[in-house]
A = this chain, B = another copy of it.
Amino acid sequence: MKGYHFELSFEVRDYECDIQGVVNNAVYMNYLEHARHELLKAIGYDFAALNRENILPMVYKAELEYKKSLVSGDDFSVKIRVEKEGLLKAVFFQDIIKSNSDLILKAKITAVVIANGKPISPDQFLEPVYKLKQN
């Protein structure tokens, strides 16, 4: 079993829960995005600054499997493993795991990097991630 390159802790906020009393499906996309952007920060990049330089990381495909629900007050973490796919795609395997070890959601997010309108290799972002200590 391959390890994770990055992990970020969260706590469910009540405004993220919906009529069913659970975290709304769309909110998981927010959690996943925030964890990816914090991973960027961990390797010295800033999402907002990249955008100002016209380097746009874009989600190309998102695949999410909802296993269990999170509810008000739950503590959880988003764990990320990164791989390259083909020449241009960065793949983020992201698992959301509750503090009691329950698997909540498995996601595979495929992204590309568009610089001045053209796709570029994601290597400058992937290589420093590979060097992060894995858990």
Interface residues of A (CB under 8 A from B): 13-15, 17-21, 24-27, 29-30, 33-34, 37, 41, 46-48, 51, 56, 58-66, 71-73
**Residues on B with beta carbons closer than 8 Å to the beta carbon of A14:** 18-19, 33-34, 37, 47-48
Q: Is the CB of B25 within 8 A of A62?
A: yes
Determine the chain B residues whose CB is within 8 A of the CB of A71 once the complex forms: 48
Say yes or no: A15-B20 contact (C-beta < 8 A), given A47-B72, A62-B62. Answer: no
Least Cβ–Cβ distance between A30 and chain B, in angstroms:
5
Given contacts A14-B19, A17-B18, contact A48 B61 (CB under 8 A): no
Contacts of A61 in B (CB 8 A): 63-66
A28 to chain B, nearest CB (A): 8
- List the B side residues contacting A56 at CB < 8 Å: 20
